[in-house]
Amino acid sequence: MKTAIITVGKEVLTGKTINTNLATISRRLNEIGIDVNRSIVIDDIKEEYYSILDFCDSDLIIFTGGLGPTVDDITRETVIDYFKVETYLDKNILKDIKDYFGRIKVKMEDTNDKQAYFPKNSIIINNELGTAPGVIFKADNKTIVLFPGPPHEMIPMLEELIKYLKKELDIKLYSKGFKLVGIGESTIEKALTGFYDKHPLVNVAPYASIGEIKYVFTSSNKEKLEETMNDFYSKFSEFIYGDLDDTLEGIIVQKLIDEKMVISTAESCTAGQLAHMITKVSGSSEIFKEGFITYSYEAKSKYLNVLQDSLIKYGAVSNEVANEMAIGLAKETLADIAISITGIAGPTGDTPDKPIGLTYFGLTHNGVTKTFKKIFNGNREMVRTRATIYALNLIRKELFK
């Protein structure tokens, strides 16, 4: 099924907005076995729609953008004109549009009536978060989809399209996946030599981000899907932290809540990033009460009881200091788990024996403290993000061991 995604709008063409809709739609279509062949961004000028529709020989054409009720939103009428399909006036939607203009206290032009015309036999998808509904219709043996541009309006509609396509194309596809941390894509791919040939009926796709990676498995054969996932799991179980809906901080916070445990943080180089990640999760106030950002020697001594001697002898970025930070933190906060981070984020501050990226971690749990050392690649921001995710993974491994 040849598929094109057409994004409409000056905002995207001028670079004011990054086109995330393409990635969102592609991924979901990919998961039900539909590949996107082309993606095009056009200006909202009538000739451009015509030119692109002449050009596209796709079976499925998805437009996003240009669906609103104002005069410069011309996607619906232009595409309907192009395909010369019969239309009808949807009175409910006309009322919605009139209400909208009433609410924003703008006089509605008569031309806006046209926004309530839809192709006969089209499927209208309600927009809970904006004014313009989505539309699916058939014309010239093609399936045409019109979605609004704002991602938060578009994304819920995408699920309706997926349902429609699965039914229409009689796709019985199952899609599941794993999220992994503590291992890189290249290491995984090397370990997967022969794996793809062994599981020909399952599509396996990796999606990488800094410090994390997810693998999505898709197949029409439920048994083969399970078999493939089990095989994958057996190879990488220690790095798998959850399924596609999970987040690393989410599973940690939930586990801490379940275990009625409290966690505290002492951060030097990451300076609050770890605490910020943990508290992203709603409800985290049950398990996170306090944290320290101890950037200076003095703060490490004053709040965490790190010895002056250790700071002078080993330096702030050292195994000894990470260890003392975690011990001091646990004692001060009485948390069940106390974690410390101290490292060199760069771009300055390295010494011959301490490179940029060198980071030490301390983890105190039930009175036992372990330390960890790691050298991270990348610029200042990447080093800090990798260190934060590494710390979350240390907590996860401690909690789920």
Which of 164, 295, 314, 372 touches a copy of itself by CB under 8 A? 295
Q: Which amino acid, residue 19?
A: N
Q: How many residues does the chain have?
A: 401
Q: Which is nearer to a copy of itself, 215 or 232 (CB)?
A: 215
Q: Which is nearer to a copy of itself, 89 or 104 (CB)?
A: 104
Backbone angles phi, psi at 92, to 5 degrees: -60, -40
Q: Which is nearer to a copy of itself, 220 or 279 (CB)?
A: 279
Q: Which is nearer to a copy of itself, 101 or 297 (CB)?
A: 297
d(Cα 20, Cα 34) in Å, to the nearest integer?
18
Q: Per-residue x/- marks for a copy of itself, 303-332, CB under 8 A? A: x-----------------------------
Place of tokens 């699916």: 136
Q: Which is nearer to a copy of itself, 27 or 166 (CB)?
A: 27
Check if the beta carbon of residue 191 is closer than 8 Å to that of residue 180: no
Site for a copy of itself in 13-42 (CB under 8 A): 13-20, 22-27, 30, 35-42
Which of 177, 182, 343, 346 touches a copy of itself by CB under 8 A? 346
Residues paired with residue 362 on neighbouring β-strands, in sequence order: 340, 371
Q: Per-residue x/- marks for a copy of itself, 169-208, CB under 8 A? A: ------------------------------------xxxx
Check if the beta carbon of residue 306 is closer than 8 Å to that of residue 331: no
298 binds a copy of itself, rule: CB under 8 A: yes
Span of 86-94, 189-197, 247-255, 275-283 interacting with a copy of itself by CB under 8 A: 275-283
Beta carbon of residue 197, minimum distance to a copy of itself (angstroms, whole number): 19
Beta carbon of residue 275, minimum distance to a copy of itself (angstroms, whole number): 4
Q: Which is nearer to a copy of itself, 40 or 108 (CB)?
A: 40
At residue 311, the 3 state secondary structure works out as: helix
Beta carbon of residue 95, minimum distance to a copy of itself (angstroms, whole number): 27
Q: Which is nearer to a copy of itself, 18 or 201 (CB)?
A: 18
The residue count for binding a copy of itself (CB under 8 A) is 66
Beta carbon of residue 191, minimum distance to a copy of itself (angstroms, whole number): 19
276 binds a copy of itself, rule: CB under 8 A: yes
Which of 1, 48, 142, 183 touches a copy of itself by CB under 8 A? 48
Site for a copy of itself in 146-165 (CB under 8 A): none
285 binds a copy of itself, rule: CB under 8 A: yes
Check if the beta carbon of residue 120 is closer than 8 Å to that of residue 138: no
The CA–CA distances, whole Å, from 309 to 116, 269, 305, 312 equal 76, 20, 11, 5
| Vertex 205 angle, CA 203 and 207, to 5° | 165
Dump the DSSP string for 230-258. Answer: HHHHHHHGGGEEEETT--HHHHHHHHHHH
Among the listed residues 161, 140, 171, 163, the one whose alpha carbon sits nearest the alpha carbon of residue 63:
161
Q: Which is nearer to a copy of itself, 12 or 240 (CB)?
A: 12
Beta strand 174-181 with 240-243 is: antiparallel
Structural tokens at position 369: 């403290």
**Burial, 391: exposed, middle or buried (Cβ in 10 Å; 0-12, 13-18, 19+)?**
buried
254 binds a copy of itself, rule: CB under 8 A: no
Which of 225, 275, 306, 363 touches a copy of itself by CB under 8 A? 275
Among the listed residues 77, 65, 72, the one whose alpha carbon sits nearest the alpha carbon of residue 115:
77
Which of 64, 127, 219, 294 touches a copy of itself by CB under 8 A? 294
Backbone angles phi, psi at 199, to 5 degrees: -125, 65
Check if the beta carbon of residue 326 is closer than 8 Å to that of residue 343: no
d(Cα 156, Cα 167) in Å, to the nearest integer?
18
Q: How many other CB atoms sit within 10 Å of the CB of residue 4?
A: 21
122 binds a copy of itself, rule: CB under 8 A: no
Beta carbon of residue 89, minimum distance to a copy of itself (angstroms, whole number): 32
Q: Which amino acid, residue 152?
A: H
| Site residues (vs a copy of itself, CB under 8 A) | 12-20, 22-27, 30, 35-43, 48, 55, 205-208, 265, 267, 270-276, 278-280, 282-285, 288-296, 298-299, 302-303, 346-348, 380-381, 384
